[in-house]
Amino acid sequence: MLKISTRCRYGLLAMVELGQCYGQAPVSAQEIYKKQRVPKFYLQQLLVKLRRNGLVESIRGTRGGFVLKKDPKTIKILDIVKAVEGPVQLISCTKQSRDKCCSKIKECLTRPVWVELHEVVNRVLSERTLHDLMR
Amino acid sequence: MLKISTRCRYGLLAMVELGQCYGQAPVSAQEIYKKQRVPKFYLQQLLVKLRRNGLVESIRGTRGGFVLKKDPKTIKILDIVKAVEGPVQLISCTKQSRDKCCSKIKECLTRPVWVELHEVVNRVLSERTLHDLMR
DNA sequence: TAATACTTGACAAGAATAGTCATATATAGT
DNA sequence: ACTATATATGACTATTCTTGTCAAGTATTA
Ligand code: FES
Ligand code: FES
Protein backbone atom coordinates (compact mmCIF):
# COMPACT_ATOMS: atom_id res chain seq x y z
CA MET A 1 0.00 0.00 0.00
CA LEU A 2 3.02 2.28 0.25
CA LYS A 3 1.68 3.99 3.33
CA ILE A 4 3.76 6.75 4.87
CA SER A 5 4.84 5.53 8.30
CA THR A 6 4.08 7.37 11.51
CA ARG A 7 7.83 7.66 11.98
CA CYS A 8 7.97 9.83 8.87
CA ARG A 9 4.88 11.79 9.70
CA TYR A 10 5.82 12.46 13.31
CA GLY A 11 9.41 13.19 12.34
CA LEU A 12 8.34 15.81 9.84
CA LEU A 13 5.81 17.30 12.26
CA ALA A 14 8.57 17.72 14.80
CA MET A 15 10.87 19.30 12.27
CA VAL A 16 8.21 21.75 11.13
CA GLU A 17 7.61 22.65 14.74
CA LEU A 18 11.32 23.30 15.22
CA GLY A 19 11.38 25.19 11.96
CA GLN A 20 8.78 27.62 13.26
CA CYS A 21 11.10 28.46 16.13
CA TYR A 22 14.31 28.57 14.14
CA GLY A 23 16.66 31.15 15.62
CA GLN A 24 14.70 31.32 18.83
CA ALA A 25 14.95 29.42 22.12
CA PRO A 26 15.14 25.62 22.10
CA VAL A 27 11.89 23.71 21.93
CA SER A 28 11.46 20.84 24.35
CA ALA A 29 10.13 17.46 23.33
CA GLN A 30 7.24 18.08 25.67
CA GLU A 31 6.18 21.19 23.82
CA ILE A 32 6.21 19.27 20.59
CA TYR A 33 4.20 16.27 21.69
CA LYS A 34 1.67 18.42 23.46
CA LYS A 35 1.20 20.64 20.44
CA GLN A 36 1.17 17.91 17.80
CA ARG A 37 -0.42 15.15 19.86
CA VAL A 38 2.17 12.51 19.11
CA PRO A 39 3.24 9.78 21.55
CA LYS A 40 5.80 11.14 23.95
CA PHE A 41 8.40 8.39 24.10
CA TYR A 42 8.10 7.59 20.44
CA LEU A 43 8.83 11.20 19.57
CA GLN A 44 11.87 11.18 21.84
CA GLN A 45 13.25 8.28 19.83
CA LEU A 46 12.74 10.14 16.58
CA LEU A 47 14.38 13.28 17.90
CA VAL A 48 17.43 11.26 18.85
CA LYS A 49 17.63 9.93 15.32
CA LEU A 50 17.32 13.43 13.93
CA ARG A 51 20.15 14.51 16.16
CA ARG A 52 22.37 11.60 15.23
CA ASN A 53 21.85 12.51 11.61
CA GLY A 54 22.92 16.07 12.20
CA LEU A 55 19.57 17.72 11.58
CA VAL A 56 18.92 18.99 15.07
CA GLU A 57 20.96 19.84 18.09
CA SER A 58 19.95 18.96 21.62
CA ILE A 59 20.42 21.09 24.68
CA ARG A 60 20.11 19.36 28.01
CA GLY A 61 18.94 20.64 31.33
CA THR A 62 16.27 23.10 32.34
CA ARG A 63 15.21 25.34 29.47
CA GLY A 64 16.81 22.85 27.18
CA GLY A 65 15.27 21.18 24.15
CA PHE A 66 16.00 20.93 20.47
CA VAL A 67 16.96 23.39 17.80
CA LEU A 68 17.52 23.00 14.08
CA LYS A 69 21.16 22.72 13.22
CA LYS A 70 20.72 24.20 9.76
CA ASP A 71 18.57 26.71 7.94
CA PRO A 72 15.18 25.22 6.99
CA LYS A 73 15.90 26.25 3.40
CA THR A 74 18.82 23.82 3.30
CA ILE A 75 16.98 20.87 4.84
CA LYS A 76 15.42 18.58 2.28
CA ILE A 77 12.38 16.55 3.26
CA LEU A 78 14.35 13.55 2.05
CA ASP A 79 17.00 14.26 4.70
CA ILE A 80 14.35 14.05 7.38
CA VAL A 81 12.83 10.87 6.05
CA LYS A 82 16.25 9.27 5.72
CA ALA A 83 17.12 10.28 9.26
CA VAL A 84 14.10 8.66 10.86
CA GLU A 85 13.81 5.56 8.73
CA GLY A 86 16.77 5.06 6.49
CA PRO A 87 17.10 5.39 2.73
CA VAL A 88 14.00 5.58 0.57
CA GLN A 89 14.51 2.48 -1.49
CA LEU A 90 11.45 1.20 -3.32
CA ILE A 91 13.34 -1.68 -4.90
CA SER A 92 16.65 -3.36 -4.22
CA CYS A 93 17.96 -3.20 -7.78
CA THR A 94 18.76 0.49 -8.00
CA LYS A 95 21.97 2.07 -9.18
CA GLN A 96 23.22 2.33 -5.60
CA SER A 97 22.70 -1.31 -4.67
CA ARG A 98 22.49 -3.85 -7.39
CA ASP A 99 20.94 -6.64 -5.37
CA LYS A 100 18.82 -8.85 -7.49
CA CYS A 101 15.14 -8.71 -6.74
CA CYS A 102 13.70 -10.55 -9.70
CA SER A 103 15.37 -13.74 -10.87
CA LYS A 104 17.22 -12.21 -13.74
CA ILE A 105 17.82 -8.50 -13.48
CA LYS A 106 19.16 -8.04 -16.99
CA GLU A 107 15.97 -9.10 -18.68
CA CYS A 108 13.58 -7.86 -16.02
CA LEU A 109 10.70 -6.29 -17.88
CA THR A 110 9.00 -4.93 -14.81
CA ARG A 111 11.99 -3.02 -13.52
CA PRO A 112 11.41 0.22 -15.46
CA VAL A 113 8.19 1.08 -13.62
CA TRP A 114 9.65 0.46 -10.21
CA VAL A 115 12.77 2.42 -11.08
CA GLU A 116 10.69 5.31 -12.34
CA LEU A 117 8.61 5.25 -9.18
CA HIS A 118 11.73 5.08 -7.06
CA GLU A 119 13.22 8.06 -8.82
CA VAL A 120 10.13 10.20 -8.83
CA VAL A 121 9.61 9.68 -5.10
CA ASN A 122 13.20 10.53 -4.31
CA ARG A 123 13.03 13.54 -6.57
CA VAL A 124 9.95 15.01 -4.94
CA LEU A 125 11.37 14.45 -1.48
CA SER A 126 14.65 16.12 -2.32
CA GLU A 127 13.17 19.04 -4.21
CA ARG A 128 11.02 20.16 -1.31
CA THR A 129 12.67 21.67 1.72
CA LEU A 130 11.50 22.19 5.26
CA HIS A 131 11.17 25.88 4.49
CA ASP A 132 8.61 25.15 1.77
CA LEU A 133 6.27 23.79 4.43
CA MET A 134 6.41 26.73 6.75
CA ARG A 135 4.16 29.72 6.54
CA MET B 1 11.20 2.88 3.52
CA LEU B 2 8.32 2.68 1.06
CA LYS B 3 9.51 -0.65 -0.29
CA ILE B 4 7.53 -2.22 -3.11
CA SER B 5 6.02 -5.43 -1.76
CA THR B 6 6.62 -8.82 -3.30
CA ARG B 7 2.88 -8.99 -3.91
CA CYS B 8 3.24 -6.06 -6.28
CA ARG B 9 6.39 -7.30 -7.88
CA TYR B 10 5.17 -10.85 -8.40
CA GLY B 11 1.78 -9.63 -9.54
CA LEU B 12 3.30 -7.44 -12.19
CA LEU B 13 5.70 -10.17 -13.28
CA ALA B 14 2.76 -12.48 -13.78
CA MET B 15 0.85 -9.89 -15.75
CA VAL B 16 3.82 -9.16 -17.99
CA GLU B 17 4.14 -12.88 -18.60
CA LEU B 18 0.48 -13.07 -19.56
CA GLY B 19 0.88 -9.97 -21.65
CA GLN B 20 3.54 -11.68 -23.74
CA CYS B 21 1.04 -14.38 -24.62
CA TYR B 22 -1.93 -12.12 -25.14
CA GLY B 23 -4.19 -13.55 -27.84
CA GLN B 24 -2.55 -16.96 -27.61
CA ALA B 25 -3.26 -20.05 -25.52
CA PRO B 26 -3.78 -19.72 -21.76
CA VAL B 27 -0.69 -19.72 -19.57
CA SER B 28 -0.76 -21.96 -16.52
CA ALA B 29 0.39 -20.79 -13.10
CA GLN B 30 3.09 -23.42 -13.32
CA GLU B 31 4.57 -21.92 -16.44
CA ILE B 32 4.69 -18.53 -14.73
CA TYR B 33 6.34 -19.58 -11.51
CA LYS B 34 8.87 -21.73 -13.29
CA LYS B 35 9.80 -18.92 -15.63
CA GLN B 36 9.85 -16.12 -13.11
CA ARG B 37 11.00 -18.12 -10.07
CA VAL B 38 8.29 -16.92 -7.74
CA PRO B 39 6.77 -19.04 -4.94
CA LYS B 40 4.12 -21.33 -6.39
CA PHE B 41 1.29 -21.04 -3.89
CA TYR B 42 1.86 -17.37 -3.31
CA LEU B 43 1.52 -16.71 -7.01
CA GLN B 44 -1.71 -18.68 -7.14
CA GLN B 45 -3.15 -16.37 -4.51
CA LEU B 46 -2.19 -13.33 -6.52
CA LEU B 47 -3.67 -14.73 -9.70
CA VAL B 48 -6.96 -15.25 -7.92
CA LYS B 49 -6.93 -11.62 -6.86
CA LEU B 50 -6.20 -10.53 -10.39
CA ARG B 51 -9.15 -12.57 -11.59
CA ARG B 52 -11.51 -11.22 -8.96
CA ASN B 53 -10.56 -7.75 -10.05
CA GLY B 54 -11.36 -8.50 -13.65
CA LEU B 55 -7.84 -8.30 -15.01
CA VAL B 56 -7.42 -11.93 -15.99
CA GLU B 57 -9.66 -14.81 -16.84
CA SER B 58 -9.07 -18.32 -15.61
CA ILE B 59 -9.65 -21.47 -17.56
CA ARG B 60 -9.82 -24.66 -15.55
CA GLY B 61 -8.85 -28.15 -16.49
CA THR B 62 -6.19 -29.62 -18.74
CA ARG B 63 -4.61 -27.03 -21.01
CA GLY B 64 -6.18 -24.40 -18.81
CA GLY B 65 -4.49 -21.43 -17.23
CA PHE B 66 -4.87 -17.69 -17.27
CA VAL B 67 -5.36 -15.13 -20.00
CA LEU B 68 -5.60 -11.36 -19.92
CA LYS B 69 -9.15 -10.15 -20.04
CA LYS B 70 -8.24 -6.86 -21.73
CA ASP B 71 -5.71 -5.45 -24.13
CA PRO B 72 -2.39 -4.70 -22.40
CA LYS B 73 -2.69 -1.16 -23.71
CA THR B 74 -5.77 -0.61 -21.59
CA ILE B 75 -4.35 -2.07 -18.39
CA LYS B 76 -2.74 0.50 -16.13
CA ILE B 77 -0.01 -0.59 -13.76
CA LEU B 78 -2.12 1.01 -11.05
CA ASP B 79 -4.94 -1.44 -11.82
CA ILE B 80 -2.59 -4.32 -11.19
CA VAL B 81 -1.21 -2.90 -7.96
CA LYS B 82 -4.72 -2.15 -6.73
CA ALA B 83 -5.82 -5.66 -7.58
CA VAL B 84 -3.12 -7.40 -5.57
CA GLU B 85 -2.91 -5.09 -2.61
CA GLY B 86 -5.68 -2.55 -2.54
CA PRO B 87 -5.63 1.18 -3.17
CA VAL B 88 -2.35 3.04 -3.20
CA GLN B 89 -2.92 5.41 -0.34
CA LEU B 90 0.17 7.04 1.10
CA ILE B 91 -1.80 9.01 3.67
CA SER B 92 -5.31 8.74 5.07
CA CYS B 93 -6.25 12.39 4.55
CA THR B 94 -6.70 12.38 0.78
CA LYS B 95 -9.63 13.72 -1.18
CA GLN B 96 -11.16 10.27 -1.29
CA SER B 97 -11.05 9.56 2.41
CA ARG B 98 -10.81 12.45 4.77
CA ASP B 99 -9.72 10.53 7.82
CA LYS B 100 -7.61 12.62 10.08
CA CYS B 101 -4.02 11.54 10.35
CA CYS B 102 -2.48 14.48 12.11
CA SER B 103 -4.29 16.03 15.04
CA LYS B 104 -5.76 18.95 13.15
CA ILE B 105 -6.05 18.45 9.43
CA LYS B 106 -7.02 22.02 8.57
CA GLU B 107 -3.78 23.49 9.82
CA CYS B 108 -1.54 20.55 9.01
CA LEU B 109 1.64 22.01 7.61
CA THR B 110 3.16 18.70 6.64
CA ARG B 111 0.23 17.54 4.53
CA PRO B 112 1.28 19.18 1.24
CA VAL B 113 4.38 16.99 0.82
CA TRP B 114 2.55 13.78 1.53
CA VAL B 115 -0.29 14.78 -0.78
CA GLU B 116 2.16 15.62 -3.53
CA LEU B 117 3.92 12.31 -3.05
CA HIS B 118 0.60 10.48 -3.04
CA GLU B 119 -0.45 12.14 -6.26
CA VAL B 120 2.81 11.70 -8.08
CA VAL B 121 2.93 7.98 -7.26
CA ASN B 122 -0.63 7.45 -8.37
CA ARG B 123 -0.01 9.46 -11.52
CA VAL B 124 3.04 7.45 -12.56
CA LEU B 125 1.25 4.18 -11.90
CA SER B 126 -1.77 5.18 -13.94
CA GLU B 127 0.13 6.70 -16.82
CA ARG B 128 2.09 3.56 -17.52
CA THR B 129 0.29 0.58 -18.99
CA LEU B 130 1.15 -3.08 -19.15
CA HIS B 131 1.87 -2.63 -22.82
CA ASP B 132 4.61 -0.11 -22.06
CA LEU B 133 6.56 -2.84 -20.29
CA MET B 134 6.44 -5.39 -23.08
CA ARG B 135 8.95 -5.61 -25.83
C1' DT C 1 20.03 20.61 45.36
C1' DA C 2 15.70 20.32 43.14
C1' DA C 3 13.54 20.47 38.89
C1' DT C 4 13.80 20.04 34.16
C1' DA C 5 15.14 17.81 30.05
C1' DC C 6 17.73 14.81 27.05
C1' DT C 7 20.15 9.68 26.49
C1' DT C 8 20.42 4.99 26.13
C1' DG C 9 18.98 0.58 25.57
C1' DA C 10 15.75 -2.87 26.25
C1' DC C 11 11.21 -4.57 25.79
C1' DA C 12 6.56 -5.79 23.79
C1' DA C 13 1.94 -5.93 21.57
C1' DG C 14 -0.13 -6.00 17.26
C1' DA C 15 -0.22 -5.77 12.33
C1' DA C 16 1.55 -6.76 7.94
C1' DT C 17 4.25 -9.52 4.90
C1' DA C 18 5.49 -13.60 2.71
C1' DG C 19 4.57 -18.03 2.03
C1' DT C 20 2.45 -22.91 2.68
C1' DC C 21 -0.93 -26.39 2.36
C1' DA C 22 -5.10 -29.47 2.22
C1' DT C 23 -9.13 -30.11 0.06
C1' DA C 24 -12.42 -29.31 -3.47
C1' DT C 25 -13.88 -28.38 -8.12
C1' DA C 26 -13.73 -28.15 -13.14
C1' DT C 27 -12.29 -29.63 -17.80
C1' DA C 28 -9.86 -31.90 -21.73
C1' DG C 29 -8.41 -35.85 -23.71
C1' DT C 30 -8.64 -40.81 -23.94
C1' DA D 1 -16.34 -43.03 -17.39
C1' DC D 2 -11.60 -42.21 -16.01
C1' DT D 3 -7.48 -39.77 -15.40
C1' DA D 4 -4.36 -36.14 -15.51
C1' DT D 5 -4.14 -31.38 -15.38
C1' DA D 6 -5.39 -27.01 -13.47
C1' DT D 7 -7.70 -23.59 -10.84
C1' DA D 8 -10.54 -22.24 -6.15
C1' DT D 9 -11.00 -21.57 -1.47
C1' DG D 10 -9.86 -20.87 3.03
C1' DA D 11 -7.12 -21.69 6.79
C1' DC D 12 -2.70 -21.68 8.75
C1' DT D 13 2.17 -20.13 10.03
C1' DA D 14 6.71 -17.92 10.57
C1' DT D 15 9.02 -13.77 10.34
C1' DT D 16 9.52 -9.04 10.15
C1' DC D 17 8.03 -4.37 10.77
C1' DT D 18 5.51 -0.94 13.03
C1' DT D 19 4.31 1.52 16.84
C1' DG D 20 4.89 2.25 20.69
C1' DT D 21 6.44 2.00 26.20
C1' DC D 22 9.56 2.23 29.96
C1' DA D 23 13.43 2.41 33.47
C1' DA D 24 17.60 4.19 34.79
C1' DG D 25 21.08 7.47 33.87
C1' DT D 26 23.24 12.04 32.64
C1' DA D 27 23.49 16.99 32.11
C1' DT D 28 22.11 21.78 33.11
C1' DT D 29 20.02 25.62 35.20
C1' DA D 30 17.80 28.30 38.71
S1 FES E 1 15.19 -7.06 -11.14
FE2 FES E 1 14.59 -5.46 -9.78
S3 FES E 1 12.49 -5.23 -10.33
FE4 FES E 1 13.05 -6.95 -11.53
S1 FES F 1 -3.54 15.77 8.40
FE2 FES F 1 -2.92 14.25 6.97
S3 FES F 1 -0.76 14.58 6.89
FE4 FES F 1 -1.35 15.95 8.48
The pLDDT value recorded for residue A99 is 67
Tell me what the mean pLDDT of segment B75-90 comes to: 97
Distance from the Cα of B58 to chain A's closest Cα (Å) equals: 22
| Ligand that lies nearest to the alpha carbon of residue B100, given by its number in the listed order | 2
More confident residue, B89 or B135: B89
Residue B1 falls within a domain, yes or no? no
With contacts defined as CB-CB under 8 Å, which chain B residues touch A125? 113, 117
**Mean pLDDT of each 10-residue bin along chain A, 135 residues long:** 96 97 96 95 98 97 96 98 97 76 78 96 98 92
C-alpha–C-alpha distance, residues B34 and B31, integer Å: 5
Residue B58 parent element (H or E): strand B56-59
Answer yes or no: is pLDDT of B101 > 90: no
Neighbours of A45 (CB within 10 A): 14
Residue A30 falls within a domain, yes or no? yes
- Residue A39 CA from chain centroid, whole number: 17
Ligand 2, CB within 6 Å, residue ranges? B 91, 93, 100-102, 105, 108, 110-111, 114
When pLDDT is cut at 50, 70 and 90, the band that residue B105 belongs to is low
Residue B74 falls within a domain, yes or no? yes
Answer yes or no: is pLDDT of B42 > 90: yes
Asked if residue B40 lies in contact with residue B29, where contact means CB atoms within 8 angstroms, the answer is: yes
Beta bridge partners of A98: A93
Q: pTM of this prediction?
A: 0.94
Residue A62 falls within a domain, yes or no? yes
How many domains does the structure of chain A reveal?
1
**What is the DSSP secondary structure assignment for residue A128, as one 8-state letter?**
-
Residue A68 falls within a domain, yes or no? yes
> Residue B110: helix, strand or coil by DSSP?
coil
Q: Looking at chain B, list the stretches that DSSP marks H as alpha helix, in order from N- to C-terminal side.
A: 6-20, 29-36, 40-52, 77-85, 111-127
Q: What's the residue count for chain A? A: 135
| CATH number of the domain that residue A77 is part of | 1.10.10.10
Asked if residue A79 lies in contact with residue A15, where contact means CB atoms within 8 angstroms, the answer is: no
Nearest ligand 2 atom to the CA of B111 is 3
C-alpha–C-alpha distance, residues A70 and B116, integer Å: 24
C-alpha–C-alpha distance, residues A97 and A93, integer Å: 6
CA angle (A27, A31, A32) in 5-degree steps? 85
> Residue B105: helix, strand or coil by DSSP?
helix
C-alpha–C-alpha distance, residues A92 and A100, integer Å: 7
C-alpha–C-alpha distance, residues B35 and B26, integer Å: 15
Residue A1 falls within a domain, yes or no? no
Give residue ranges of A with CB < 8 Å to any B CB. 1-4, 9, 12-13, 16, 36-37, 77, 85-91, 101-103, 109-110, 112-114, 116-117, 120-121, 124-125, 128, 132-135
Residue B57 parent element (H or E): strand B56-59
Q: Using the CB atom, is residue B60 less than 7 Å from strand C?
A: yes
Distance from the Cα of A95 to chain B's closest Cα (Å) equals: 16
Rg of chain B over Cα atoms, rounded to whole angstroms, equals: 17
Q: Looking at chain A, list the stretches that DSSP marks H as alpha helix, in order from N- to C-terminal side.
A: 6-20, 29-36, 40-52, 77-85, 111-127
Asked if residue A92 lies in contact with residue A118, where contact means CB atoms within 8 angstroms, the answer is: no
- Domain assignment of residue A129, given as a range: 6-133
Q: Using the CB atom, is residue A64 less than 7 Å from strand D?
A: yes
Interface test with A, best of B103, B109, B115, B133 (most A CBs within 10 A): B109
> Residue B59: helix, strand or coil by DSSP?
strand
- List pLDDT tens digits, range B4-37: 999 999 999 999 999 999 999 999 999 999 999 9
Q: What's the residue count for chain B? A: 135
> Residue A68: helix, strand or coil by DSSP?
strand
